Amino acid sequence: MDTVNLAIVGATGAVGEVVVELLEKSTFPVDQLHLLASERTAGTSLLFRSKPLMVNLLESFDFTQVHMVVFVATDAVSLEYVPKAQKAGCLVIDNSQAYAGSLSDTVSSPPFNTPLNAPFVIPGVNSEVLSTDNKPSLVINPDSSVVSLWTVLKPIYDAVGIQRVNVCTYDSVSRLGKKATHELATQTASLLNAQGAEPKFYSQQVAFNVLPNVGELDENGHSDSELRLVEQSQKIIDDAQLQVNATCIQVPVFYADGMAVTIETGDAIDASAVREILEKNSEIKVLDENSEDGFATPVTSAAGKNTIFVSRIRNDMSHQRGINLWIVADNVRRGAALNTILIAEELKKSYL
């Protein structure tokens, strides 16, 4: 098959709009592109190949018109429409958490694929799970932090092994969608005008503040974001012995996340050798104290970029096999939208 008919569910959302933008710039061979959304935004249009493309109503769409469907919508939308797309014979890429492990284990017998056998994929990290011997009808795009984290850590894992990862994420509001970014903008403007900042989307003020949890907490005090990071890391690396500890913090930044990471390696390695490994990866840019622009930050380095940036690579003072590093990446663009395009390219190459 030379070209692909593709549908994007949730095309008018924060991630969906960037998927459309990156799709136009990519070499992915789209023939017909169908943009789908709810009644609220159906009837609007997005530019694709310099022409306005109408957004159609998801509810009435016939999935037999397309070969592949990208879901960048809510869990509820994916739960309802992913099975319909699969039944129509489509390959499906899902960006929600509807089929993503323990948080979806309560879903009763979804057809064709279950949460246990729908693979999480980061092309270049674990592309081998998309083998022609085990064609999946559903592929899950991991959490954006997981994509950035393991794009950086996998080359180190391959070189010397990693036994433990301790990560603290500093999450931008855009990972929770347009309502979250609107709330940060509204609260910021209100406070700068000496007015109050009543929280609506968040439980507390997010502007000029730091919130100690991202998502709901379980009975042990772990947030769903932290649990996803742990579980998806182990699945992607296919290493149940890998120890991962995560803390996810909400910061008042619009786009791009930061991660303070400490790893315990299997074999000893120093910071200079880690830097050499990472500098060989075209998807990563190392910015250290000698860089013209200084250390990497979410706003000045990563926002709006496809690259993952790494700074502050150094030996851990408390452990002889410990390495500390700082990672920043645009969660919407690199973690969600671009990884979706890369998965689509892998599926096209293997199965269409």
pLDDT digits (tens, 9 = 90+) for 245-304: 999 999 999 999 999 999 999 999 999 999 999 999 999 999 987 777 789 999 999 999
Here the CATH number for the domain that contains residue 13 is: 3.40.50.720
Of the candidates 222, 201, 171, 217, which has an alpha carbon nearest to the alpha carbon of residue 335? Answer: 171
Residues 110 and 216 occupy one common structural domain: no
Residue 52, pLDDT > 50, answer yes
Residues 92 and 197 occupy one common structural domain: no
Residue 26, pLDDT > 90, answer yes
Q: Please list, residue by residue across 141-180, b when 16 or more beta carbons sit within 10 angstroms of its beta carbon and e when fewer do.
A: bbbbbbbbbbbbbbbbbebbbbebbbbebbbbbbbbbeeb
Does residue 321 lie in a domain region?
Answer: yes
Looking at residue 323, its amino acid is: I
pTM higher than 0.85: yes
Spatial distance between the Cα atoms of 154 and 156, rounded to a whole number of angstroms = 5
Residues 112 and 202 occupy one common structural domain: no
| Model pLDDT for residues 119-151, shown as the tens digit of each residue | 999 999 999 998 766 778 899 999 999 999 999
Residues 100 and 150 occupy one common structural domain: no
Residues 162 and 284 occupy one common structural domain: yes
Residue 111, pLDDT > 60, answer no
Does residue 173 lie in a domain region?
Answer: yes
Of the candidates 171, 211, 213, 205, which has an alpha carbon nearest to the alpha carbon of residue 188? Answer: 205
Residues 178 and 217 occupy one common structural domain: yes
Does residue 140 lie in a domain region?
Answer: no
Contact 187, 275 (CB under 8 A): no
Residues 98 and 152 occupy one common structural domain: no
What spatial distance separates the first Cα and last Cα of the chain, rounded to whole Å?
A: 6
Contact 42, 9 (CB under 8 A): no
Does residue 136 lie in a domain region?
Answer: no
Q: How many helices (H) and strands (E) does the chain have?
A: 7, 13
The stretch 53-76 carries a mean pLDDT of 96
Residue 20, pLDDT > 80, answer yes
Coil/strand/helix, residue 107: coil
pLDDT above 70 covers what percent of the chain? 95
How many domains does the chain fold into? 2
State the chain's mean pLDDT as an integer: 92
Q: Please list, residue by residue across 8-30, b when 16 or more beta carbons sit within 10 angstroms of its beta carbon and e when fewer do.
A: bbbbbbbbbbbbbebbeeeebeb
Q: What is the pLDDT of residue 97?
A: 87
pLDDT-derived band at 108 (thresholds 50, 70, 90) equals: very low
Cα 220 from chain centre: 25
Residues 315 and 263 occupy one common structural domain: yes
Of the candidates 206, 176, 219, which has an alpha carbon nearest to the alpha carbon of residue 75? Answer: 176
Residues 259 and 173 occupy one common structural domain: yes
Q: What is the pLDDT of residue 132?
A: 67
Q: What is the pLDDT of residue 288?
A: 84
Does residue 125 lie in a domain region?
Answer: no
Spatial distance between the Cα atoms of 204 and 252, rounded to a whole number of angstroms = 12
| Model pLDDT for residues 214-245, shown as the tens digit of each residue | 888 999 999 999 999 999 999 999 998 899 99
Residue 109, pLDDT > 90, answer no
Does residue 134 lie in a domain region?
Answer: no
Residues 111 and 200 occupy one common structural domain: no
| Model pLDDT for residues 157-201, shown as the tens digit of each residue | 999 999 999 999 999 999 998 999 999 999 999 999 999 999 999
Here the CATH number for the domain that contains residue 172 is: 3.30.360.10
Query: Across the strands, what pairs with 55?
Result: 35
Does residue 99 lie in a domain region?
Answer: yes
Residues 168 and 44 occupy one common structural domain: no
Does residue 100 lie in a domain region?
Answer: yes
Coil/strand/helix, residue 122: coil
Q: Which domain holds residue 295?
A: 146-331
- pLDDT: is 54 or 215 the higher one? 54
Segments of 95-195 assigned E as strands: 138-140, 162-171
pLDDT above 90 covers what percent of the chain? 83
Residues 179 and 327 occupy one common structural domain: yes
Q: What is the pLDDT of residue 290?
A: 73
